[in-house]
Amino acid sequence: MKNKIFSLVIMAILFPIAVIAQVTLNAESGNIGVDAGNCWKFQGMSYISSAGDVISGTFSLRSGQINNHSITNTYLKTPWMKIGTGNITFKIKLSSGSAPQSRGIRVSYIPYNASSPTTSYEGTAVTFHSYDYANVSDLSVKEISVPIPAAIENSTVVYRIMVSFVGQTGSGRILSDDYVFPGIYWSNPSNSCNPLPLVAPPADADGDGVPDVDDEYPNDPYRAHNTYFPAFSQFGTLAFEDNWPKKGDYDFNDVVVDYNIKTVTNGNGNVVEVIFSFILRASGAVYNNGFGVQLDGIAPNKVSMVTGNHPGSLPSAANKTESGQSYANVIVFDNFFSLMTRPGVGLGVNTDIAGPYITPVTQQVVIKFIDNGVAPPGGTLTLAQLSSAVYNFYIFINRERGREVHLPDRSPTSLANTSLFGTLEDSSNPVAGRYYKTINNLPWAINIVEGFEYTIEKIAIDQGYLHFIDWATSAGVQYPDWFMNKPGYRVPEKIY
C-alpha cells in the first residue's frame, strides 16, 4: 500500500508551520489541484488511474505528448525546499505510442531569486541529470535515482527541483510515480507558495500563535481578532410592535433599539466574548416592555458570564444567563422605561413630536465565553458557530415574560407562552416553524440592518416610507433601499 501523498518523516515546529525532511509525491490524492495547492507546479501533466498506465497505487502522473527537448515544456516542480542529502528517486515508464524517436527526462534545480517576483522568485534552472531511453519501445518501469549535487545539498537557502519530460516526434507519453526528494518542505500555501521565512519567524509578543502584524491584540494572549455586525461603528435597528397577538398600528416604534455586535476571537479562532452595544432610541408604548436576545442553538453552559444587562427581578443562572432556558438567553432590560424615563408629554419616549427629545441611552452588554483563557463548562465556540445569524432578538410585553415578540419566523424562547400562538391575529404554527406573523404574513417586528429612522406616533411605517409596501409585497425584491433618504422615498414630516 502506498504511503500518503506526503510521507511525514521528521516533523518539527517552526512558526507557523512545521517542517518535514522528505518531500514526496505519488498522485494518490487523485486531484492534481490538491498537490498544486501544496505548491507543486505542473506543466502539461495530469493524474491518471487507467489500469494499464498506473505504475503503483491507484494514480500515477502522466505527461502530455512530448515533441521537443525544452525542459520548460512538460514538467513538475517541487515546492520550495531546503535540500537535504542523498538521492532523488522516482519511477518512470513509457506509455504505448507510435514511432517516438526519443524520450527522456531531465532533472534540474531552480534557485530562489528574491528580486524576480515576475517569475515567482524562480532563478535560472540548472540541469544536473539527464536520462534518455536507449530503446523507446521498452515499456518497463525504470527506477531513477539521482544524487543531489554537492552545490545544493544540505542547503540553508531554498530551491525547487524540476523534473522535465523531453523527446522528439511520434506519440507516446511518460508516466511517473513515487517521487522522493530529500529535504525540508519550505513553502507557504497561504502566501502564493512563496518560501517560509528563512531566519526568524514573525514577532508574536503575546505568544498566541498570531503574528503581531495580524493580531489586533498583540499583547493579549487571550484575544486576537475582532468581527463586527452589522459593521464597525455601524448600527442596525430593531423595531417592534407590542400589541401581539393583536395587530398594532404598524408605526413600529413601540420599542426601537439599535444594535452593534463586536465578537472577539482568540488565536485558535474561538470566541472569547461578544460585546453588544445597544442604543435605546424610542418606545411609543403604554406598556413597560422588556428586551432580550436568545443565542439560537447555544447552550447556556457555553457562557462564562454576562455583564451589563438589567434583568430586573427575572431569575438568572450563576453565569447571568436567564434561568430555565434551553438556549442561552440574555435579558438586556426588563423595562424600557426604567432606563429611559417617560417625559410625561406624549405617549412614551421619542415618538411624539409634542414631547421633548430624550437622549438615547447606550447600553453595553458583554457575554464572556472564555474568561482569561478558561473555557466555560460547556466548552468553546468557534466564530462560525456564533455567527450573526444566531442572534434572536425579542421583546416581552409589559413585563409579562411569556408574551414574547420576535422577528418573523424566529423561534420563541423556552419561556414563551405558546398558548398565545394562533390566537387573535397571530397565525403562528410551531409545527411548521411559522412564528409571529398574521395570516397575511405581516410581522410584529422588523430588522433594518443598515439602521433607520422610525415614524412618529400612530403613523404607520408605510405612510412615512412610500416604498415600504412595495418592498414587502415583493418579498424584498423591489426597493430594497426603501429606508434610504432618496427623493420620493420618504414623507419627512411623518418621520421622527
Partner 1 sequence: MKATKLIAIILFTAGVSISCVKQNLPDPGTLPTEKQKLADSKVPDDFNWSTGKNVELTITGLPTIIPVKNTLTISLPDGNKLYNAYHEMSVNLKLTLVVPATVSVLKLKYGSFDETLNIVNNKAEFSFIPVIPQEQE
Site for partner 1 in 178-207 (CB under 8 A): 185, 188-192, 194
Nearer CB in complex with partner 1: 400/409: 409
Strand 329-333's sheet: what is its strand order?
329-333, 290-295, 391-396, 404-406
Whole-number minimum distance, CB 49 to partner 1, in Å?
Answer: 12
- Distance, in Å, from the CA atom of 295 to the CA atom of 298, rounded to the nearest integer, reads 6
Q: Which residues have a Cβ under 8 Å from the Cβ of 147 and sit 6 or more positions away? A: 86, 87, 88
Nearer CB in complex with partner 1: 151/231: 231
Q: What is the DSSP letter of 34?
A: H
Site for partner 1 in 12-31 (CB under 8 A): 16-20, 23, 29, 31
Q: Does 44 bind partner 1 (CB under 8 A)?
A: yes
Q: Does 383 bind partner 1 (CB under 8 A)?
A: yes
Q: Which three cell numbers stand for residue 344?
A: 410625561
Of these, 21, 347, 466, 495, which contacts partner 1 (CB under 8 A)? 466
Q: Are 324 and 300 spatial neighbours (Cβ–Cβ below 8 Å)?
A: no
C-alpha to C-alpha distances, 3 to 24, 44, 279, 294, 444, nearest whole angstrom: 9, 25, 59, 49, 61
Among 9-17, 88-96, 299-307, 346-354, the segment contacting partner 1 (CB under 8 A): 9-17
Structural element, H or E, at residue 396: strand 391-396
Site for partner 1 in 127-146 (CB under 8 A): none
Nearer CB in complex with partner 1: 347/442: 442
Q: Does 227 bind partner 1 (CB under 8 A)?
A: yes
Whole-number minimum distance, CB 33 to partner 1, in Å?
Answer: 5
Least Cα distance to 240 among 283, 288, 293 occurs for 283
Nearer CB in complex with partner 1: 338/441: 441
- Distance, in Å, from the CA atom of 173 to the CA atom of 134, rounded to the nearest integer, reads 16
The CA angle 36-40-46, to the nearest 5 degrees, is 65
Q: Does 165 bind partner 1 (CB under 8 A)?
A: no
Q: Does 267 bind partner 1 (CB under 8 A)?
A: yes
Nearer CB in complex with partner 1: 20/152: 20
Site for partner 1 in 419-448 (CB under 8 A): 440-443, 445-448
Of these, 2, 21, 32, 402, which contacts partner 1 (CB under 8 A)? 32
Q: Which residue has the cell 408605526?
A: 251
Q: What is the DSSP letter of 78?
A: P
Q: Does 485 bind partner 1 (CB under 8 A)?
A: no
Q: Are 467 and 452 spatial neighbours (Cβ–Cβ below 8 Å)?
A: no
Site for partner 1 in 310-339 (CB under 8 A): none
Q: Does 224 bind partner 1 (CB under 8 A)?
A: yes
Site for partner 1 in 55-84 (CB under 8 A): 62-64
Whole-number minimum distance, CB 195 to partner 1, in Å?
Answer: 13
Site for partner 1 in 232-251 (CB under 8 A): 232, 234, 236, 247, 250
The 10 Å Cβ neighbour count of residue 20 is: 18
Whole-number minimum distance, CB 256 to partner 1, in Å?
Answer: 15
Q: Does 468 bind partner 1 (CB under 8 A)?
A: yes
Task: Spell out, one character per residue from 340 to 379, where the chain touches partner 1: x when CB under 8 A holds, - when not.
Answer: ----------------------------------------
Q: Which residues of 109-145 are buried (b: 16+ CB within 10 A; e: fewer)?
A: bbbbeeeeeeebbbbebeebbeeebeebeeeeebebe
Q: Does 34 bind partner 1 (CB under 8 A)?
A: yes
Give the binding-site size for partner 1 (rule: CB under 8 A): 90
Least Cα distance to 483 among 447, 436, 433, 445 occurs for 447
Q: Does 269 bind partner 1 (CB under 8 A)?
A: yes
